[in-house]
Structures are given as C-alpha cells and as structure tokens.
Amino acid sequence: MGSRVAALVPAAGQGARMGTEVPKQFLTLGGAPLLVHALRILGAADVVTEIILVVPKADYGYCQQELLPSLGLEKPIKVVMGGARRQDSVRLGLQAVSPDMDFVLVHDAARPFVTVEMVEQAVDAAKVHGASIVAIPMRDTVKRVTPDAVIQSTLDREGLWLAQTPQVFRIGLLVEAHQKGEKDGVEATDDAFLVERLGYRVWVVPGSLENIKITKPEDRLMGEAILAARANRMSI
C-alpha cells in the first residue's frame, strides 16, 4: 500500500493587506472564491488522500454547508476552525489529520496556481527525504535596507531561493516541529523553518513563477492575467 498524504490548507487569515472586509481567500478570482482553485487541484491529485481546510470561525458554517458541497470533490475533506496566526491554524489542522496518514502537505489557500505536477513532485521528494518544499531561485538583485529606506548592503543572491507551497513532511516530523515552535515561542512564516529548527534537512523542488501568493490588490490583477494566459494556452 502506498503512502497516504493529507493536504492541509490554512485559510483562516483575515488578509488585512488586501484592504477588503471579506477575507482574501473568499474573494473571487476567475469567478470562483480564491481558495477554490487550490482545493480543486488538491482534489484532482491522486497522491492526496484527504484534505483538511482550516478557516475562520465566522466562515466555518458557510464552508461546511455551502462552499464544499458546491465543489463536488470526491475525496474526504474536513473543515477546521483556525487560530490567530498561520502556524496556529496549521497546528489545529494537524489535530484533524486522520491517524493513518504518513505525510502532510501544507499549501496556502492564497496560492491558486499550484499544479498537480507540483504536488506530485513535492510528495515524491518528501517520500525520499522526509521533508520538501517548492521554491524558486532569486532572479533580482537583493538589497538589505534600513527602516528609513536607505540601502545598507547588497546580498549575494547565489543560493537564495524564494519559498513557496506546497511543503510536504512526514507527519510526525511536522507535529514535533510545531510543538517545539509553540514551546519556544517561535514565530514562523512557513512550516519548513520550524522543521529546520529541529536540525532536519529540507529538500527543494523547483516551483513556478506563476505560483504566486495573492496578498495585495495588484496580486489579484496578476492572478486574473495568469488565468487568462492559461485559458489561452489551452485553446491553442
């Protein structure tokens, strides 16, 4: 029997940088709520066994009773109420993972352009190494800047990568990493950092420039452009 993978989708943030009253994960992109795009891909990926969706308490009923039934996903999906921070939501989501899962794949709801191939490659790498993330190498010159907007230094971009999701881990490893992070009072913007703190090596799988995270209004415009470009490629 093959390894069983739970896809955990943290979608409990308020998206303050988007400047809207509606949390960004529920804003429409291509006529559908933002988080729906990632859920459909995870639902289509054969390597994913179950999905855990972590949402704000206020939106729990809507997601459970209206959003998910409308998607018609065939694989099991659980809805969990999230916490104040992203890592709180991931930790709460981990508690809902079925006990027979071997790996957990964490993917941000605000990254709608993940692909099945990306999911499969990240899972394959984690099966070999125990931990993997999708990332892309830095292309631009990197400056360290002071709080008053003055360049302090120019960094060597060689070996610098921008972390994306999905990120995949053996479930026991990720649970341990979150428990230690919580005990030590560590703030983490991605799960790989918590795993790195344990001294484990995390492998990198090449991602895509299209795998953007929608956090600001201009990102949403870029997302619509990516959707249009993909539709155009499919029609050719």
Helix (H, G, I), strand (E, B) or coil at 107: coil
Distance from C-alpha of 94 to C-alpha of 107, rounded to nearest angstrom: 13
Q: What is the mean pLDDT of residues 129-145?
A: 96
Cα–chain center distance at 98: 19
pLDDT (tens digit per residue) in 186-226: 999 999 999 999 999 999 999 999 999 998 889 999 999 99
E strand intervals along 40-141 = 50-55, 77-81, 103-106, 131-137
At residue 72, the pLDDT reads 87
pLDDT (tens digit per residue) in 8-65: 999 987 655 555 566 778 888 999 999 999 999 999 999 999 999 999 999 999 999 9
Tokens of 42: 């995870």
Closest CA to 6 of 38, 31, 42: 42
pLDDT (tens digit per residue) in 163-175: 999 999 999 999 9
- Give me the percent of the chain exceeding a pLDDT of 90: 80
pLDDT (tens digit per residue) in 100-117: 999 999 999 999 999 999
Q: pTM here?
A: 0.92
DSSP string, 165-225: EEEEEEHHHHHHHHHHHHHHT---SSHHHHHHHTT---EEEE--TT-----SHHHHHHHHH
Q: Domains of the chain (ranges plus CATH)?
A: 5-235 (3.90.550.10)
At residue 183, the pLDDT reads 96
